A and B are shown apart, each in its own frame.
Chain A
């Protein structure tokens, strides 16, 4: 298992000020960081986590939560007061400056919040910076840098200076510089926070696109929960110097570890995080292919719907049947639905985010069908469920109250008044 761990932090502390060792001991007993003595600041308290190879691990927290200090301990820009960091099995805490430099050259690179480009170098020379430090000959490093520059979408801008570029393009240079160094681990310190929202979105999407092919291990710092949810395979939430929860975006959204995280995720754009699979319900409105038109009609009547999904024996979605067609079959005495199955125009995959469900949901005559990768009908999403899922609170992703089937209401209406006891009405 250890070979799949790209970076491991174990019991990391960073305390600024005097008598740091003593403060660490006191913090280990679990006191809050406000309780440490004046003149000492506990920036990071007992942070432990493992980042897997090829994973985007997001560290999320507001300013002052210690996330910037944490990332700077991961490549030794700051010395850890206590605890260890290992990258690919090599410890980077408690080693000589020379050894640390060697590890930085070969194993870990960084993208900075304000780009930190060198204004006196052209784009290509900035991208080649890491390679230059690695001691690669000029021709070779320019060749490599040219490829990376094209990769981050800056082909044709190689000979410009950073000041001639927009913010988004400057950060592409910053990303290119880190990628060109060809290290396994990439640290990104609020890399997109200084960009306009639209550009930020574009960069996030491009980062995911690059990640598909490059499969780097990325540790991404952000204060923006939406960004964390969008990019992160796993997210570590930091609060007051401590890591309070580590989990997938869905974990954090649906099962927050404490009140702080819960309060935090209230503002998240759920439509971009939750997937169809998170909110779908059992497909009540479906009948098997082998069922006859009568069964289909009955299902429609119970579901108060004008159509019903039809699935094959392996639960694959075949299509749907409309009530008029089914009624005709009944009148004609047909036994099989096969001839009247219409194609389902709108269906979504189980891992589509809610954002992408709105248009199909509006256009779909039935609750939106949710299919797994093999095309099996695994659930449906009624419009009301989709709406409810966007609201905060624990009920959002829970069971939605299903309306009483029309048949039952008819039944109640048909019985004379007074037959239903008061207790029964109250239990409703």
Chain B
């Protein structure tokens, strides 16, 4: 059967070699950019005293969801501090935030394009399937070839892996907007751009937020794999603990990932569904404000 061997792998390798030789400027730029973003964010997170940062995280949790989340955040992040994985956790946190942010910035326009254009949809859908189902480790190989060992291949592999749900949810959200409401925009003479900004995006926002939540969760699940590529953080600790069968380090680093995941999930899922969280600080403030406005209106009349 040797004659039937199709050297797909060799072609891919040749393609990568070509890209490495010819697109070096692009990759160098990306390398510098991503590296700078992750390192600066990590520096900031580590520069702020841990207790202050915990207080800020708790406040974000309270503002968007509930005081219970705030309390849980304080306890769980204090545990990270007590397990002495704070530095690794903040490195992972920075990597996840940067990768997720870039993924979202790419995903939402792609999702909009797919929602509006059948050709784009036909082309992009198999690409997204490919990105999502190809084993995540495989991305590390070209990423390491292009960017070398370090944080950047981790960021790139994370972006590729976490991008698809962001695109899909955006497309789904926009296509799911009630057709009559879009017609209403058209009937009053709105341009496609006005309909997108004024009707489709606001109405699709909860679904898009669901997509963003998925992007962030997938980014975090890639954090460990990024550790293999040499990115500093909890992933690297986990990889180290596997190679040395270091149970205490493995458990502590793993717990750190879990705590970060729960915090990010609760906060980002609350972002898209403010109505479901009447206990949140922003809901309380909004209620007070309308109550005061009502009072003013009543006393004026």
Instruction: Write the residues of chain A forming the contact surface with B, with a CB cutoff of 8 angstroms.
Output: 72, 75, 77, 101-106, 108-110, 112-114, 116-120, 129-130, 133-134, 159, 177, 181, 187
Contacts and interface: CB of A to CB of B under 8 A. Distances in A.
B191 A116 contact: no
A75 B187 contact: yes
Contacts of A105: 188-189
A133 B188 contact: yes
A155 to B, nearest CB: 12
A114 B182 CA distance: 12
Contact of B203 (A101, A110, A113, A119): A119
A112 B183 contact: yes
Interface stretch (B5-13, B57-65, B76-84, B194-202): B194-202
A108 B187 CA distance: 8
B187 A110 contact: yes
Contacts of B293: 159
Contact of A114 (B180, B189, B190, B203): B180
Given A116-B183, A129-B184, 6 more contacts: A77-B187, A109-B187, A112-B183, A119-B203, A120-B203, A134-B189
B265 to A, nearest CB: 25
Contacts of B194: 133
Contacts of B180: 112-114, 116
A104 B187 contact: yes
Contacts of A109: 187-188
29 contacts: A72-B183, A75-B187, A77-B183, A101-B189, A101-B190, A102-B189, A108-B187, A109-B187, A109-B188, A110-B183, A110-B184, A110-B187, A112-B180, A112-B183, A113-B180, A114-B180, A116-B180, A116-B183, A116-B184, A118-B184, A118-B198, A118-B199, A119-B203, A129-B184, A130-B188, A130-B189, A133-B185, A133-B188, A159-B293
Contacts of B181: 116-118
Contacts of B199: 118
B203 A104 contact: no
Nearest to B205: A120
A72 B179 CA distance: 13
Contacts of A116: 178, 180-181, 183-184
Can you list the 6 inter-chain pairs with the closest CB atoms, starting with the nearest? A105-B189, A104-B189, A116-B184, A110-B187, A116-B180, A130-B188
Most chain B CB within a 10 A radius of its CB, from A103, A113, A133: A133
Contacts of B191: 101
B32 interface: no
Contact of B184 (A106, A112, A120): A112
B203 A181 contact: no
Interface of B: 178, 180-181, 183-191, 194, 198-199, 202-203, 293
B135 to A, nearest CB: 41
Most chain A CB within a 10 A radius of its CB, from B186, B189, B203, B293: B189
A133 B181 CA distance: 15
A187 B185 CA distance: 14
Contacts of A112: 180, 183-184
A134 B203 CA distance: 22
Contacts of A159: 293
Contacts of A102: 189
Nearest to A132: B198
A120 B190 contact: no
A128 to B, nearest CB: 11
B198 A181 contact: no
Nearest to A100: B189
A103 to B, nearest CB: 8
Contacts of A187: 187
B211 to A, nearest CB: 19
A74 to B, nearest CB: 10
A18 B181 CA distance: 28
Nearest to A187: B187
Contacts of B178: 114, 116
A72 B186 CA distance: 11
Nearest to B188: A130
A17 B183 CA distance: 21
Contacts of B202: 118, 120
A106 B181 CA distance: 19
A351 to B, nearest CB: 35
Nearest to B178: A116
B187 A129 contact: no
B205 to A, nearest CB: 8
Contacts of A104: 186-189
Contacts of B187: 75, 77, 104, 108-110, 187
B187 to A, nearest CB: 4
A116 B178 CA distance: 8
A114 B184 CA distance: 11
Contacts of A117: 181, 184
Contacts of B183: 72, 77, 110, 112, 116
Contacts of B184: 110, 112, 116-118, 129
Most chain B CB within a 10 A radius of its CB, from A106, A108, A118: A118
A104 B188 CA distance: 6
Nearest to B297: A159
